[in-house]
A = this chain, B = another copy of it.
Amino acid sequence: METEYETRPREAIARILRAEPRFLSAAELCARLEESGTPVSRATVYRTLERLAAKGEAALRLNDRGEATFMSCDNGHHHHAICRSCGRVEDVACGALDTFVDRLRSLHGFQLDDHSLEFHGKCRSCV
C-alpha cells in the first residue's frame, strides 16, 4: 500500500507557503527553511512542491528566467495579478473571456481547451 507520512520537512514547507502570498522558487524556499531553523534538502523541497502541485494545493508558475516557482493555492479556476515591485499576488476571478472564445471559434476554427492569463503591475501598497 501507499500511505502518506506527515513529516517535519513537509509541514515546514507548507507553513512557509501558506504565510506568503508570493510565488517562491525552490531556492528561496530552501533559504527560508534554513533561516527558520528547519533546513530541508533541495531534493525534498522539489519533491514536496511537485506533490503539492499535483494535489492542487500549490500553483506552479515559471518566472521569466524559466525557474519554477510555487505559491499556496485555493482551488477553483482563477488568474493572478502579480506586483512587479514586491511580488505580491492577488487572485482574480475568471470570467468574461467569452469574447475571446467566440473570436477563436469563428475566426480561427480553434477548439479551446484551456487558457492562462496573467496581469502585471503594481499593487496598492507599491504604487
**Contact A109-B84, Cβ < 8 Å, known A68-B66, A92-B104:** no
- For residue A94, which residue of chain B has the nearest CB? B100
Chain A interfacial residues counted at CB < 8 A: 36
Give A60's nearest chain B residue, CB to CB.
Answer: B64
> Within the complex, which residue of B64, B110, B117, B122 is in contact with A115, where a contact is CB–CB below 8 Å?
B117
Closest 10 CB pairs of A and B: A109-B124, A66-B66, A96-B99, A113-B121, A114-B120, A112-B121, A111-B122, A117-B117, A115-B119, A111-B121
List chain A positions with a Cβ less than 8 A from chain B.
62, 64, 66-68, 79, 81, 83-84, 90, 92-93, 95-96, 99-100, 103-104, 108-124, 127
25 CB contacts below 8 A, A to B, read A62-B64, A62-B66, A66-B67, A66-B68, A79-B100, A81-B104, A90-B104, A90-B108, A92-B100, A92-B103, A93-B103, A108-B123, A108-B124, A109-B123, A109-B124, A110-B122, A110-B124, A111-B127, A113-B122, A114-B120, A114-B121, A115-B117, A115-B119, A117-B117, A117-B118
